Amino acid sequence: MFYRQHIARGLLIVGCLQFTAVVSGQCLVQDIAQEAAKLGEAIDTEARALEITQELAARQLAIENTQSDLGVYDQSLVEMYNDLANFYTELEDYDNAVRYHSDALQITRINTGLYSHEQIPILDSLIQNNERGGRWEEVDNLQELYYFVNSRLFNYEDLRYLEAAEIYGNWKLRVVRENLLAQSGRELLNTAGELSQFYERVIEGVELQPTVSREDLLTVIYGKSQIDLTLARSVARTPYTAFEGTENPYINQTRCSNVRNSQGQTVRQCFTVQVENPRYRLSQREAKQFALVRHTRQISRSIAKLEGIKNSSTKLSSAEKQQIEVQIAELVTESEQLVQASRRLF
């Protein structure tokens, strides 16, 4: 039906053009070429759609036959699911790509255990396809699982562990900067604080390994400096009234006055009232300053580590050392500005 319609349309156009040529003596060659091109594109599109439909049907049938012959959890299904998921990715159908990669992951965990190398490339594909679909909650859960599996497989002295830690840290830093999970201000601060502590644990753990060079820690150290800067900026922007002071917000005061009793005599009557503690606001300012100093101190520690690695390294090129110098200069400038801002607070 599709081809007959387009052929009839083409004949009608040719007939009209012949009539026009007879009447006006002109032939609209450009219109003919355009219509022919449109007809060719439509035929190619339909042919491609038919090819895709047949390919999907063949892959689905192969999966069903394997399930019937070998069972629904046979290891051979992992490759088939992954291939089908990759095919859907090429078609930009990320929902189905995620669906079949998830099936592959489930079978892999059943056959190879909860913490196996075979899961890592599947998790990586799941993360990418969920990112393309904008499913940030799912991406966050998968990033947690990705790091957890790698932390079980590799220890601090293995560079594959460090690579997984960098991927996890970069994701969490993006979550904080872009607020991908639609968190409240306090939730974002908690996420940032947890990430800073995560970086601290990674750095301390790797530094204890004699086989790992300090140059391998550069990315992690710089990542920690960035999240600490984010925390310091947030503290600097937050009004001091949002911080919890160390003093009691209210204090009790006794107030007395002279009143006449029922016998008409003047007596002194006292009562206790709650009033705002003038020292509470001062303690709130001090709490803000303390929080800011805590984060800027962490930045200073990262600067010192970067400086030490740059000065002592024999592996880094001149270009790499120059890049570290630029990073250090940026960190120093911004942290000094934050410190000065905290001093003006008082």
Kindly list the distances between the CA atom of residue 72 and the CA atoms of 60, 106, 119, in Å, as whole numbers in the listed order.
13, 11, 18
Evaluate if residue 7 carries a pLDDT over 60.
no
pLDDT at 2 over 50: no
Higher pLDDT, 52 or 81: 81
Give the orientation angle of helix 218-237 with respect to helix 159-178, to 10 degrees: 20
Confidence of residue 17 (pLDDT cuts 50, 70, 90): very low
What is the percent of the chain where pLDDT is above 70? 86
Tell me: the pLDDT tens digits for 236-289? Answer: 888 888 888 887 888 888 888 888 887 878 888 888 888 888 888 888 888 888
Spatial contact of 28 and 17, defined as CB atoms under 8 Å apart: yes
Q: Is the pLDDT of residue 179 over 70?
A: yes
3-state helix, strand, coil in the chain (%, to 5): 75, 5, 20
Please give the pLDDT value at position 38.
Answer: 65
Instruction: Calculate mean pLDDT across residues 321-326.
Output: 95
Q: What is the pLDDT of residue 284?
A: 84
Mean residue pLDDT across the chain: 86
Write down the pLDDT at residue 25: 45
Tokens 């689905």 appear where? 60
Q: What is the pTM of this model?
A: 0.76
Q: What is the mean pLDDT of residues 159-185?
A: 94
Distance, in Å, from the CA atom of 320 to the CA atom of 30, rounded to the nearest integer, reads 59
The ranges assigned to domains in the chain are: 1-71
Question: What pLDDT does 319 receive?
Answer: 94
pLDDT at 222 (0 to 100): 95
Per-residue tokens: 136: 């940030």
Tell me the mean pLDDT in the region 188-216. Answer: 93
Helix H or strand E segment including 271: strand 266-276
Which of the four pLDDT bands, split at 50, 70 and 90, describes residue 26? low
Res 6 pLDDT > 80: no
Q: Is the predicted pLDDT of residue 138 greater than 50, yes or no?
A: yes
